[in-house]
Structures are given as structure tokens and as C-alpha cells.
Amino acid sequence: MSAHLSYGRVNLNILREAARKELREFLDKCAGSKAIVWDEYLTGPFGLIAQYSLLKEHEVEKMFTLKGGRLPAADVKNIIFFVRPRLELMDIIAENVISEDKMHSPRDFHILFVPRRSMLCEQRLKEQGVLGSFINIDEYILDLIPYDGDLLSMESEGAFRECYLESDQTSLYHTAKGLMTLQALYGTIPQIFGKGECARHVANMMLRMKREFAGSQTQILPVFDSLLLLDRNIDLLTPLATQLTYEGLIDEVYGITNGYAKLPPEKFAAQKKQGEVGKDLPTEPKKMQLNSAEELYAEIRDKNFNAIGAALSKKAKIISAAFEERHNAKTVGEIKQFVSQLPHMQAARSSLANHTSIAELIKDITSEKNSLYSFSFHVQLTTLHSSFIYLFYLYLTRQVTSEAFFDNLTVEQEFMTGVDTDKVNTYIEDCIAQKDPLIKILRLVCMQSVCNNGLKQKILDYYKREILQTYGYEHMLTLNNLEKTGLLKPQTSTRNNYPTIRKTLKLWMEDANEQNPNDISYVYSGYAPLSIRLTQVLARPGWRSIEEVLKMLPGPHFEERQQLPAGLHKKRQQGENRTTLVFFLGGVTYAEVAALRFLSQMEDGGTEYIIATTKLINGTSWIKSLMDRPEAP
Amino acid sequence: MWREHKHVFSISNVFKLKESKRAVNSIRSLVEEEDEEDDVEKVSWSGEPVGSISWSVKETESSIRSTGEVRDQSFPKIHTAPSLPKNSSGYSLSSLFKEHSEKLLTSLILYLLDCRWSVHDDVILLWQDYVSDWTPEETVKRMQQGKVYSLEKFRSLQDKLLLLDEAVNAHDGNVITAVLIYLKKSLSKEILFRELITREIALRHYIHYLKEIGEQKLLLMQYRDHLNVRDENKRRDFLKNCLSFPFSPDDATHVQDHYTLLERQIIIEANDKQVESSGQADIFKKYPRKASILNMPIITTLYYSCFYHYGESDGTFSSPANIRKTFRISDKQFLLTCLGARAKLKAWFDVDALFTTKNWLGYTKKRSPIGFHRIVDILQKNNAPVQVLQDYVNLVEDVEQKISLAQKYKCHDVIINTYRDLKDRQQLIVYRGKVERSSSEYRKIEEILSNSVRW
């Protein structure tokens, strides 16, 4: 299940194994049969570390979700709570434990706090009178979770809000800790670069921690040549733009959580039982794991969506050709060989079918013209409703969504190229009048503000009033949060430095090639993410060439060196690439990840990138994390 | 904190007997020379306070000063800190001080802390025993009397709230503020605000304090708590309370609007509920209300008003005109909302009136702050009949846009007339092929085409 983690430049499976080892050790501490009671939030991140099979090997027989009241019956010796250190969860645990005691056979209780234990929580358990019931209280430090062969995530949703809105830097501490763990496994990283306040903090903490552990130097040849720490707030623009890579769009449209996407089930049902669709359409969304373990997905996920059709049809041809091979298999040996390949081919075929379905779903939403295929799909649907009007309705609504997507994209691109960013935008106005989702409005208004280095007071006031009148005055708090983080702001100086930044860093490329890209700008069909441009320039020719632009972006930029123990200096082979770990503090988008992968694969790039972040984000999830009361009561 | 200092300067290294005796004597002489009440005024402090006690002292001191109270001299002050060189000592400090007055003891400890020196464990214990006996009443009393006190012993939320309530009962602004400052430092903002909702006097003091130190942002946190108030009347009162907060001018307007809106919604809701249940008004019978209007955004409220209260005189709270004026709704928003509501009711006459303006000669003309193509879209979404639609399609200025809209919504007359006016015979012939042979449109095209005068 984890082989894909070891294919990359850096074997991230080592990190996963270390995490698994620790988990096993804890489980073995609680001898005998066990049941785990899960804080539901943790199951996602844990899924990236271990499957149920690992737990089973260590005598975990049952798993429950943490809920109030009495624990379900289970004939086990140990009950282990896997929880985040939150007070409200402690109350639930106490309730569980108290109602348990009244029952017959005594079971042993344990708590595993993820990622840190907390005095406050233990105090709460004590107040509730149950602290003594626990045999083991432990912590499971889950800082950096291997997400894919070249991607690490802390899966910490609130990191941006905490750091930039609430000035709570706990997540930076966890970041530094995670990086120390990484260095313990992969050797000291000799060079640290960074840009931004938080980056500075993390680097300082790392250097201090290193001094404190000076005695226990790791004798490991360094795997990483350098570390680049980037604050999210040096590039507020990129996450606001709609991602246009395949993976990015899946995330924009359906959302990817802990490596899984939940997709509408209709299309997947249709391909299973052709002919008798409609009898029982599944209503549960289809949950799909998306990572490089799936060969096809690894191949296509970073492509621009406009290149997906061609890639899929090419793949389809290869697969059907492979199946046709059976006619050529004459000898027993040949047949045997064919059969031995069959499972692989079948997996490839079902993977292809799945991605064709997903691509179609997305295409319905994003592209202007509707394909004949999706039309026929709806004809099938209409047999369900036996009403032609319904068909027409579906057809219309779909057209509306695709038009809206297109219009939205046009406005984004206007802003990014600096067109009319200093005026009230009529499209935004219209969207407000139509009561489009608030997050969509906020994404656009913030983008306009960022691309104009702040909005004129009059324009800002106008947008604010329209938003508050249409969506409710309580959103004043959200607008305030956006202002605090700098996403939305009044223009303070007359000078707008965004055009300078755009030109110097070549953030807009007119002739972005979506099919055969030659520049990272393909990930947003023209816009090259600022964060990735900084990374690119750092590798070559170096930041000295863009000092002026760096000064325009918030926070300091710096370089630190860490002494390596003698004899551990890496001697690079001729032509061997450097390995850089890029850490995005406050989140990174899939499109940015795609852009870095593109740079890694460039023939004359000279640098390969491993990416780490506090959380994979998109504009919607990001803005949502900054809202007060995102869901109205 | 104390313990931290200890391992920096261990007592045996720093606090050596001979000199310590001298120091103690010097303090004692200062203290004992004067009366209980006056002696302390002569002692002045220097250097940064490092311990939590000296902090609380400093805080109170400054808060008292800022409000200009007369008691601003109530804390011990020492002019110069004598330097205390090293010497060795086997004495237990607590034994040294046992017989001394409380004032001396506290002065000494504060002095030691002030000099960034470590204090012997015994002294600390003594001190802790001493202060931990103070109840909230006693502490507040001591604060009022200007005596040394410590707030650190109030650790749990419950204790802190007891202390706050006691301070409020004492009606001493300085004491209340001092307690609030301590709570602000030691509690999360959310919890503090939550508790302050129910303690209005304390809340007022806090707001005043925030205003003094210019913390605007925190005020919004306070405002946010209205979300936790379920009952609409209480929520209204809560918002009313917020009105007096020193928000930035911008935010103040919004909060004022929010309050006014909820106030009106409560009136409208009560009234309409009654009218609806009594069955007096047709509109409610025909279109029963689906949900309450309470806590809806202003635009939704305006829509509701245009739906159920159209045509009421400007004077009523529920009339669209009054809402428009009170909440300064832009022309565009007003028009769109009104249009949506009247179109939903198929009140085409009202829709028509929305756009009609009279010029000074008495001619009427149709005008709109937004393009007529948008109006057409909105009407179409509300299933306006072709007869209504085509009036507005005709008002679209751009000819190409007009034709494409007319085609989209099957306004044959508009298309035919436009081609006729453009003298585009070719297009007319093409279009003739698209309509049914037996239809009136077909006949109309035939007629135009055969009218030789025209071509």
C-alpha cells in the first residue's frame, strides 16, 4: 500500500516506517486484545500511515467512533482512545469511562494524544474523576505525514489562520519539530533558505533545537541539499486562482481530503451495469483514493485539464492494444505470459474507466461545449424521470454552470494581468446580486485586492456594503479577518507594486502551452505561481537577481548554513541533481505541487523538489478557514 | 518564575549574610520610621518588575494613575537599590523575618524580586501561605485600601469570576479595571467575552479600557458573541449594547444597521404572523410564508417586503421604500430585488412601473440602471410570458444581443421587426424557414417580404 512512497528521489517510506514503528510500540504497550475508539478527525491522517491490517496484527479487534454515552460492547482487554488534545473530547471520554464502570467485566483504558499530550486535558480528566482509570497516557507525534512519493503534509487545517490571524505560532513549533524528525532520519540539511516572518521563526527554532541536541548528532549522509521555507502570505494570490490541472480541478470541484475525493456516484454506476442503469442508482458518493500508487493517475494528475482528453485516449489505445495481444498469443508460453499480465491490464482498464468518468464530470462543469457523450448520459437519466422537460432542465443548468465557470476564469485572468483592477467589477456585482456562494465572491474580491495592492477605499467600502447587505451583517467578522491577513485591504500608497512583481518574475505568460508545457505557467493556463517562481529563481540564478522584488514581499529573506559532521559532506557526481525540500507554511495548492514536479522533471533543471506543507489547500478551503461561522446557524 | 531565577542565582552565592543583614536593616529602618499608612509612600522602586507579583502591582499602579485617583502613591518605593555583594549564609530567611510585620515581609519580597534576585524557598512558601488565605472580598478590600495584594492565586475560571463579581460589587472602577486587566492576561479572549456578556458593568469598564488602549479589534470579538444569543429579543438587546462600543466608524455603521434591521424584523415578524394566522390578507393565504424573516440579511428582508408589503406607504417599517432609505440600498440592488419579487408574483404591471420614468413633457420612457438584457434574463427565469419578455428584449440597445436574446426566448415578433427595420431580406427568408408554416409568424414574414414598397 505504500510502495509509491519509495519511488521518489527521497525514500519517504522511511518516515512512514518510523511512524508505524512508534505506533506498533504503543499498541504493544497495551498487552492483549484491544478496541480503538477514534476521534473521527484523526482517521484520515492515520489512514496515510497505517491500514487496519497493521492494527489487526497488534490485536486490535474492534474500532469505534468516539461518541457520548456508553461504549459499544466488545470482548477486549483494552480500550484505547486515539484523540486530539481537545477539552470537549475529554468530556466525552469521561462519559464513556464512567458509564463503563457500571458494567460487568473491567477493561483497561488508555489514551493516545495526537500530536501532543496536554496538561489541560489531563486536568479535565482529573476533574471528571477518571484520570486514575487510565493505565497509559501517551502522545503520538504525528507532525509530517507522507502524503505521496514527493509530498509531506502536516494535515493541519488551522495553521494559516493560527499563524496569520490569531498570532498563535504553535503550528510553527510543530513544523520545526517535524523538520528535526526529518533531519534525524535523512541527515542534517546543510542550507536553509527562507522568505517571510514565519519562515524566519521556524529556521530560528530549528537552529536552536539543533544546538540543544548538539550531543546527539546524526551520522547520516544528508539526503537533502537545501531547505526552502516559504510563508504563505508572501504569495496570497496563487491559492485564490482556480487551479487548472487535473488534480487541482478535482480538488476545486469536489475537494480532496487526506488523499481521498468524494465523487458523485452516477457515472461510476453507469459503467458498471450498462443497460440497466436507473434501477438502483447509488446515492452514496464514491470515495476514491488519489495518489501515485495508481500509475495512470501519477501520469495525468499534473497535466492541464485541456490535455487530459488526449492523454486518456492515448492510454485507452495502449490498453486496448494490449488486450488485442491475446489474438497474437499462439504458443502456451505466450498465452501464459498474457494471462500473467492480465491483472495488471485489468487494473489499468478500470483505472482508465474511473478517470474518464471523473474527467467527464469535471468537463461538464468547466467546458463551454457539451459533448455528445454526456448528452446521451442524460438521455439515460431521463428514462428515470420519463420527462423530457427534466432533460431540458438538466441541460440548461449544466450550461449555466459551465458558463459561470468560464466567466469566473475570465475575470480571474483579467485581474492577474492587471486589467481594470481599480474599478468595481460588474461580474462580481452580478454574482452578489444573484446570491452566488459567498466564498466565491470573497475569492474574487480578495484576488482583485491582491492584484491591485489594495483597493481604493471607496471601492472596498462598496464591496463590503454589498456583501453585508446581501449575505448578512455578521460577515463583518469574516471581512475583518480577511483584512487582518492582508487578503483584503485598502490601498495605502498610490503605488501598486503588483505589476512590477508580475513583470520581474514573469508571472503572466501569454502563450502558455497546455498540451506540451515548457513553463510552469501551464498549471493556471497563463499564470505562473509566484511561490514557485521564487523557488525557481532561487535554484538559478539565485535570489540576488531579484532583491528588489523580494523587498516588496512581506517578511525577511535569509540564508542559514548548518554545520555537517566531518566526513558527511556529500560529493556530488557529475550531473547529479540537487535535492531541495520546499516547505510551504500555511498551505500549498495542488497546482503549485504540479508546478514543482514539472521543474523536477525538466531535463536541465538541476534540482529535484520534495514538497512539504502544513496542509493542502485551495481557495475555497482556505477562505473558509478564515471565516467566522462559515455555516450559518 | 521564582524557581527559574533560583537556578541562575543560587541563594548561597548571592544572598550572603553580612550584606543581607544590612539590606534588611535598611528596609526595616525605612519601614519602621513611619506610621503604618504613610511609611510605604517613601519607598520607591526601580528596575523592571520580574515576578508575577510585582507585575500585578505595576499593572494596578498604572491603571490607578491613568484614571487620576488620589491613591497613586500607595505602593512601596525604594529610591536606590543598594548593591548586595556576595557573602555566605546558613540562615533560613523565613526565621529571620517571622517576627516582622506583614508590610516588611511583602516589601522585602517585592524588593528581592525587583533586584532580579532569587528568593529562598521558605520565603516563597511563607508568602504563598500568606496570600492564599485572602478571599475575593479580602483581596478586593486590600486593593481598595491600596495594600499589597496578589491576583495570581485566583487560578480557576470560577475563582476569577468570583473575584470579578466582588470587584464589581465594590463599585470601584480602579479595582474593576485591575481585575479585568488580570483576566485579560490570563484568560482566552473568547472565554472572557463569553463571561462578560452577563456582567454588564464589568463589560462597560472593559470596553472603556479597550478604548483607552486602542484595541479596536477586540471589540469585534465582543460583537461576534451576538451569534451565541438565540432568543431574538435578547439578541436585539445585545446588539443595542454593542452600539455604544467605540468601533471604527465603518464597523459602527454596520453594527447600527444590524441592530436596526433586527429590531424591524422583530416588529414585522410579529405583525405578519398575526395577520397570517387571522387570515385577513390574501397575499398570505395565496403564498404562505415559508420561514420567519428573523435574522435574514437585509436584501432578503427587502425581497420579503417587496413580496408581502408592496405598495405600503413610505411611513411603515415594512414598506420597501422605507427599507431602501433606511439601509441606503443601492439603486441596482433595489431594482434587482424588487424585480425578482414582483416577477415571482407575476405582477407584470408593477414590473413595468419599475422602469417607467416621465420626462418634463409628460412622455414616458423606460430606463434601468442595469442593462435590459439582464432584466430579460431575470424575467425569463421567473417564467414571464413572451408578451412581457418581448417588451424588454426590444429595449436592448445592442442589435446583435437583441436578436440573440429574442432567438433564445422565441420572441418572433422582435426578430422579424428587427430584420424588417434593418432591411435584411436575406435573414428574413432564413428565418421564415425556421417557423412553422401555419403560424402567424410565417404569415407576418410573408406579408413583409411581399410588400414591394419596403424593398
Per-residue pLDDT of A133-172, as tens digits, reads 899 899 898 889 999 999 999 988 889 998 898 777 778 9
Residues from chain B that touch A392, judged by Cβ atoms under 8 A, are none
- Which residues of chain A have a CB within 8 Å of the CB of B254? 468, 473, 476
Contacts of B250 in chain A (CB under 8 A): 461, 464
Distance, in Å, from the CA atom of A550 to the CA atom of B48, rounded to the nearest integer, reads 39
* Percent of chain A predicted with pLDDT > 90: 50
Q: Regarding predicted confidence, which is higher, A412 or B282?
A: A412
Query: From B335, which residue of chain A is nearest by alpha-carbon distance?
Result: A433
Are A429 and B250 in contact (CB < 8 Å)? no
**What confidence tens digit (pLDDT) does each residue in A525-578 have?**
999 999 999 999 999 899 999 999 999 999 999 999 998 877 777 676 767 889
Q: What is the pLDDT of residues B215-231, one digit of tens each?
A: 666 677 778 777 778 88
List chain A residues with CB under 8 Å of B257: 468, 473
- Kindly write down the DSSP assignment for every residue of A46-70, as one continuous string: HHTT--HHHHHHTTEEEEEE--SSP
Rounded Cα gap, residues A224 and B374, in angstroms: 58
Residue type, A536: Q
Alpha-carbon distance A460 to nearest alpha carbon in chain B (angstroms): 11
User: Among partner residues A430, A435, A469, which is closest to B327 by beta-carbon distance?
Assistant: A469
d(CA B170, CA B140): 8
The closest CB to that of A469, out of B217, B220, B298, belongs to B298
- State the Cα–Cα distance between residues A34 and A75, nearest whole angstrom: 9
d(CA A44, CA A22): 18
Sequence-distant (≥ 6) Cβ neighbours of residue B73 within 8 angstroms: B41
SS3 A312: helix
Is A165 an 8 Å CB contact of chain B?
no
Query: Average pLDDT in the A443-453 region?
Result: 96
Average pLDDT over residues A105-127: 85
Q: What cell does B306 get?
A: 417587496
Average pLDDT on B169-181 reads 82
Answer whether A126 touches B (CB < 8 Å).
no
Could you tell me if A628 lies within 8 Å of chain B, comparing CB atoms?
A: yes
Q: Are strands A286-289 and A578-585 parallel, antiparallel or unpaired?
A: unpaired
The burial class, CB within 10 Å (0-12 / 13-18 / 19+), for A208 is exposed
Cβ neighbours for A330, distance < 8 A, ≥ 6 positions apart:
none
Partner residue facing A480 (CB), from B220, B329, B333: B220
Q: Which residues make beta-bridge pairs with A231?
A: A585
ipTM above 0.85, yes or no: no
| Cα of B297 to nearest chain A Cα, Å | 4
Task: Answer whether residue B128 shows pLDDT above 80.
Answer: no
Q: Is the Cβ pair A466, B255 closer than 8 Å?
A: no
Q: Report the C-alpha gap between B400 and B422 in whole angstroms.
A: 11
Who among A461, A465, A477 is closest to B224 (CB)? A477
Pick the residue of A400, A473, A475, A631 with the most B CBs within 10 A to test the interface with B by mutation.
A473
- HSE-CB for B337 with a 13 A CA cutoff: 27
CA torsion angle A147 A151 A157 A159 (round to 10): 140
Q: Per-residue pLDDT averaged across A319-325, rounded?
A: 84
Nearest residue of B to residue A397 by CA position? Answer: B381
Q: Tell me: pLDDT of B269 over 80.
A: yes
Q: Cβ–Cβ of A466/B257 closer than 8 Å?
A: no
Residue B436 buriedness (CB in 10 A; 0-12 / 13-18 / 19+): exposed
Cis peptide leading into residue A264 (ω within 30°): no
Nearest to A608 by CA among A182, A199, A150: A150
Give buried/exposed letters for A392-419 (b at 16+ CB in 10 A, else e). Answer: eebeeebeeebebbeebbebbbbbbbbe
Put simply, whether B448 touches A (Cβ < 8 Å) is: no
Q: What are B394-408's pLDDT values in tens digits?
A: 888 888 888 888 888
What long-range pairs does A535-538 form, CB within 8 A, spacing at least 24? A535/A228, A535/A230, A535/A580, A535/A582, A535/A596, A535/A599, A535/A609, A536/A599, A537/A505, A538/A193, A538/A228
* Mean pLDDT (chain A, rounded): 85
Chain B hits for A631, Cβ within 8 Å: none
Residues 451-490 of A with CB under 8 A from B: 461, 464-466, 468-474, 476-477, 480, 484
Phi, psi of A105 (to 5 degrees): -80, 130
In residues, how long is chain B?
455
Tell me whether A170 touches chain B (CB under 8 Å): no
Is the preceding omega at residue A541 within 30 degrees of 0, hence cis? yes
* Averaged confidence pLDDT in chain B: 73
Which pLDDT score is estimated for B259? 93
Distance CA A215, CA A207 (A): 14
- Give the range among A47-56, A270-279, B231-240, B405-414 with minimum mean pLDDT: A270-279
CA distance linking residue A373 with residue A63, whole number of Å? 43
Is B404 touching A (CB cutoff 8 A)?
no
The pLDDT confidence band at residue B196, using thresholds 50, 70 and 90, is: confident
Pull the grid cell for residue A453. 495592492
In terms of DSSP bridges, do strands A557-561 and A286-289 run parallel, antiparallel, or are they unpaired? unpaired
Q: Inform me whether the C-beta atom of residue A260 falls under 8 Å from chain B C-beta atoms.
A: no
Distance CA A445, CA A588 (A): 20
Which among A430, A435, A473 has the least Cβ separation from residue B257?
A473
Does the distance separating the beta carbons of B296 and A472 come in below 8 Å?
Answer: yes
DSSP A370: P
Contact B329 A628 (CB under 8 A): no
pTM: 0.75
Burial A104-130 (b: 16+ CB within 10 A, else e): eeebbbbbbbbbbbeeebbebbeebeb
Residue B123 pLDDT > 70? no
Q: Do B330 and A466 touch (CB under 8 A)?
A: yes
Give the phi and the psi of residue A159 in degrees, each rounded to 5: -55, -45
Q: How confident is residue A587, by pLDDT bands cut at 50, 70 and 90? A: very high
Most confident of A24-33, A498-507, B159-168: A498-507
> Which of A237-251, A417-431, B128-142 comes out lowest in average pLDDT?
B128-142
DSSP A584-626: EET-B-HHHHHHHHHHHH-TT--EEEEEEES-B--HHHHHHHH
| Distances from the Cα of A249 to the Cα of A235, A328, A366, A404, angstroms | 20, 40, 9, 15
DSSP A544: G
- Would you say residue B48 has pLDDT above 70? no
- Say if residues B335 and B374 touch (Cβ distance below 8 Å): no
Category of A66 on φ-ψ map: left (φ > 0), alpha (ψ -120 to 50) or beta: beta
Q: How many CB pairs under 8 A join A and B?
A: 58
Crossing angle for the helix pair A619-626 and A438-451, nearest 10 degrees?
100
Contacts of B226 in chain A (CB under 8 A): 474
The minimal CB distance from A476 to the residues B251, B298, B330 is found for B251
Runs of H (alpha helix) within A489-616: 498-504, 530-539, 547-552, 590-601
**Which range scores top for mean pLDDT: A158-167, A211-220, A468-477, B87-96?**
A468-477
Contact between B297 and A469 under an 8 Å Cβ cutoff? The reply is yes
